[in-house]
Amino acid sequence: MTPADVAAIGSHGHTIRHRPASPGRRGATLQLGCAATIAERTGVTVISDFRSRDVAAGGQGAPLVPFADRLLFSSPDRIRVLVNIGGVANLTRVPVRGSSDALLAFDTGPGNALIDGAVECATDGGETFDRDGRRAAAGHVIGTVLADLLADPFLAMAPPRSTGRERFGHELVARIVASCGPTGEREWADLIATLTELTSRTIADSVRRYVAPLGADEVIVTGGGAHNPVIMSRLRQLLDPLPVFTGGEAGMNADAKEAVAFAALAWAHLSGVPGNVCEVTGAGGPRILGSMTPGRTP
C-alpha cells in the first residue's frame, strides 16, 4: 500500500482534557495530535478532532465508537454488548442487525488507567502495565479502598455519560497511593488487585444496571483490558450466565477495534454522513464529525 491508496487518515489524537457539559456549564474537550504534521509527513488528507463538534452541539463528545459498532459489528441474530477497555472503559449495546432499537452506549468508568498508574508507581516507572494481570492475581482486594472508589458520583450517573483521565488518572492514583502508603511488593499487589476489581466491578455493574433490562446475548471485550486474565475472569464471574468473550474469541482484533472505528468515522466525514449517535451522546442532532486537513498536492 502507498499513500496514494489511502483516502484519508482518521486521527483520534490523545485526549488530555475532557469535561462534558453539565447543567449550566458548556462542555469542552481537547486532544493532542497535530493533523498538519501527519498530513505533511504522509501526504495524505487527515480527519481529526472528532469530539469537538458533538460537544458544541450539546453532547458528551463520547463515546464515538458506537457509530462503527453498529455499522461493522451488529449480528443478524444476537444482541451484542461491546466493551472496550482502554484507559477509560466504555460499552455499546448493539441491537440485532436491521432492528429499529436505539443504541445504548456510555463510559462505564475506569479502564486500565488506574491500574497502569499504580504499576508505574510500584516499579518507579520500570513497568507501565500489569502484564497478564500477574500483580493483581498475587494480591487481595482492599475492601475499604474499593468501597471509597465505588462511591465516586460519576458511577451513580445515568447515561449519557462520559469521563476521562482527569477523573480516573494519575491524580487519583497519587491520592490513593498517598492514602494507602504501600511499601512492600505484597502491599502494592493488594492495591493493584483493588484497582483491577474496581474496573471489573464498574463494567459489570453498568451491564447489569443499564443493559441487562433491555436484553443481551453476549459480551465482547476489546482493548488492552481484554489481555488481562484477571479482568476477564472477574467479568465472567460477575456477569454469569451472560457469555463473555474477548474480541479475538469473537473474531475481532481486540487491539485494532478503536483504530477501525476512527477509520470508519473518517469515511463518514468524507461521505457527508453524521458520525455521532445522538441518543448516546445527548447532542442536539446528527453532526458530521471531525476537521479535514488536506494532504499535499501532487
Q: What is the pLDDT of residue 193?
A: 98
Mean pLDDT of the region 107-120: 97
What stretches of the chain adopt beta strand conformation (E)?
A: 9-11, 14-19, 28-32, 46-48, 80-85, 88-94, 104-110, 218-222, 244-246, 291-293
Here the contacts of 293-297 (C-beta below 8 Å, separation 24 or greater) are 293/35, 293/36, 293/38, 293/39, 293/45, 293/46, 293/47, 293/48, 294/39, 294/45, 295/3, 295/39, 295/42, 295/43, 295/44, 295/45, 295/46, 296/39, 296/40, 296/43
Q: What integer pLDDT is reported at residue 23 of this predicted model?
A: 74
If you average pLDDT over every residue of the chain, what do you get? 94
Q: Is the pLDDT of residue 103 over 70?
A: yes
Segment 115-131 mean pLDDT: 97
Q: In the predicted model, is pLDDT for residue 38 greater than 80? A: yes
* Bridge partners, 81 (sequence order): 93, 219
Name which of 108, 135, 111 is nearest 121 in CA terms: 135
Residue 82 pLDDT greater than 70, yes or no: yes
* Whether pLDDT at 220 is above 80: yes
Dihedral of alpha carbons 150, 153, 156, 161, sign: negative
Report the distance separating Cα 241 and Cα 217, nearest Å.
10
The SS3 assignment for 43 reads: coil
Nearest residue to 27 (alpha-carbon basis) of 62, 66, 75? 62
For domain 3-61+257-293, give the CATH number: 3.30.420.40
Residue 55 has pLDDT above 80, yes or no: yes
Q: What percent of the chain has pLDDT over 70?
A: 100
pLDDT confidence of 125, banded at 50, 70, 90? very high
3-state secondary structure of 240: coil
Distances (CA, A) of 247 to 80, 87, 152, 199: 12, 17, 29, 18
**Whole-number pLDDT of residue 298:** 63
Name the nearest CA neighbour of 198 among 242, 241, 154, 258: 154
What are the pLDDT digits (tens) for 19-30? Answer: 877 777 778 888
Rg (CA), the chain: 19
Contact 261, 289 (CB under 8 A): no
CA distances from 265 to 72, 149, 164 (A): 12, 34, 21
Q: What is the pLDDT of residue 106?
A: 94
pLDDT at 62: 85
Please give the average per-residue pLDDT across 33-58, as a whole number: 95
Amino acid 20: pLDDT: 77
Q: Which has the closest alpha carbon to 261: 222, 219, 295, 207?
A: 222
- At residue 218, does pLDDT exceed 90? yes
Of the two residues 111 and 163, the one the predictor is more confident about is 111
- Work out the pLDDT band at 164, boundaries 50, 70, 90: confident
pLDDT mean over 101-106: 91
**DSSP for 175-206, written as a single string:** HHHHHH---SHHHHHHHHHHHHHHHHHHHHHH
With bands split at pLDDT 50, 70 and 90, how would you rate the model's confidence at 202? Answer: very high
pTM to 2 decimals?
0.87
- Domain range list for the chain: 3-61+257-293
Closest by CA to 205, choosing from 104, 91, 117, is 91
The pLDDT score that the predictor gives to residue 63 is 86
Q: Does the pLDDT of residue 56 top 70, yes or no? A: yes
Average pLDDT score over residue span 207-217: 97
**Per-residue pLDDT reduced to its tens digit, 243-282:** 999 999 988 887 888 899 999 999 999 999 999 999 888 8
